[in-house]
């Protein structure tokens, strides 16, 4: 029986943090490799998949709903015995003895010889007056979650990347009119998503414009917009605003310095190794050109195979000593 008041640590060979597509893939390969692995996730397994209505770019699967694909991935991994636990990780630190210490909001403390970090990220806010006030009352960051609340209404989408154009197109299933508000004079999104916007009669693009303020009474009623080139302001009547302007990686979980790019994404080699031995990353926390389900899955596969080799190398000196 542990001493009263002494912190109890649970040990595993490998801990995977985050259960999006990358985390679930990492869990699958770890379980198939019979590693003593634990997958920690603060919410429901699936990550960004749970916010995606339709996926049509996953090889071999012409169309599938995001939540359905997440469920399939989870079942596939747990079929091989993967242990999944609900816990909110708040810090990861490498100790002097080479182990990693993982602490959680729930008070549980874990130790592992290696970490695969697949913790994803958080949507970036506009930071304008009224945004927080009308969050859940017109302002949203999840089209799948809230789109059905805007049937027959006029709404706006802020952003010009893949997420903004894809989710804007999805929102036309419910809204009568969708305005795309973009600060530049062209989209950054993939051409296939741009075509969907331009060809959709329910969508209209407002170029060179930013949202300056969200206005309303008990709920959002209109937006104050500003043209970044002319400085002219106008009001747009809309009952909803969906914000897709960026993504902040959850790399702050690491207490130690890890080499990263200007946006805070961790830099790895081709085998998903970071500048800290034993720390491997995959998915949306990794610095790379694209962030797709396919790249997350591929990164995670490599990360776990590399982690398995790392763990084997750690065990070999002890094995050799035992023989002598």
Q: 13-28 burial by CB neighbour count: b if 16+ within 10 A, else e?
A: bbbbbbbbbbbbbbbb
Evaluate whether 124 touches 255 at the Cβ level (below 8 Å): no
* Distance in angstroms (rounded) separating the CA atoms of residues 166 and 152: 19
- Determine which one of 145, 185, 232, 237 is catalytic: 145
List 36, 53, 71, 142, catalytic entry:
142
Q: Per the structure block, which two tokens stand in for 57?
A: 């770019």
Contact 18, 43 (CB under 8 A): no
- C-alpha 108/C-alpha 38 separation (Å) is 13
Told to judge if 105 belongs to the known catalytic residues of this protein, a careful annotator would answer no
In the chain, DSSP finds a helix count (H) and a strand count (E) of 6, 17
* Residue 142 a catalytic site member: yes
Structure tokens at 14: 């490998």
Q: Using an 8 Å Cβ cutoff, are 110 and 10 in contact?
A: yes
* Residue 57 annotated in active site: no
Beta strands at 177-181 and 37-41: parallel, antiparallel or unpaired: unpaired
Nearest CA to 274 among 287, 250, 290, 258? Answer: 258
A 10 A CB-CB count for 178 gives 27
Category of 30 on φ-ψ map: left (φ > 0), alpha (ψ -120 to 50) or beta: alpha
Catalytic residue among 99, 146, 169, 284: 146
Active site residues per annotation: 142, 145-146
């Amino acid at each position: 029986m542990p001493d009263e008041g002494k912190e109890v640590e649970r040990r595993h060979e490998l801990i995977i943090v985050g259960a999006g597509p990358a985390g679930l893939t990492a869990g699958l390969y770890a379980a198939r490799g019979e590693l003593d692995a634990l997958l920690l996730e603060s919410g429901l397994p699936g990550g960004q998949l749970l916010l995606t209505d339709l996926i049509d770019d996953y090889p071999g699967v012409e169309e599938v709903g995001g939540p359905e694909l997440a469920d399939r991935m989870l079942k596939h991994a747990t079929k091989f015995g993967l242990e999944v636990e609900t816990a909110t990780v708040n810090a990861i630190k490498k100790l002097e003895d080479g182990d990693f210490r993982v602490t959680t909001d729930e008070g549980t403390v874990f130790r592992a010889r290696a970490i695969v970090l697949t913790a994803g990220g958080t949507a970036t806010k506009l930071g304008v007056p009224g945004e927080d006030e009308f969050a859940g009352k017109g302002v949203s960051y999840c089209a799948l979650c809230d789109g059905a609340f805007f049937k027959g209404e006029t709404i706006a989408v802020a952003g010009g990347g893949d997420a903004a154009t894809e989710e804007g197109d999805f929102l036309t299933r419910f809204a009568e009119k969708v305005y795309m508000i973009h600060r530049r004079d062209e989209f950054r999104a993939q051409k296939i998503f741009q075509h969907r916007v331009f060809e959709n009669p329910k969508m209209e693009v407002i170029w060179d414009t930013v949202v300056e303020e969200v206005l309303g009474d008990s709920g959002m009623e209109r937006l104050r917009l500003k043209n970044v080139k002319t400085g002219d302001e106008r009001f747009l009547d809309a009952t909803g605003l969906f914000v897709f302007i960026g993504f902040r990686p959850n790399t702050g979980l690491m207490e130690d310095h890890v080499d990263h790019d200007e946006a805070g994404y961790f830099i790895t080699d081709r085998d998903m190794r970071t500048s800290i031995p034993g720390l491997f990353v995959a998915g949306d926390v990794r610095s790379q050109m694209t962030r797709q389900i396919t790249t997350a899955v591929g990164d995670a596969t490599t990360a776990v195979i590399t982690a398995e080799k790392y763990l084997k190398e750690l065990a070999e000196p002890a094995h050799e000593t035992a023989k002598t």
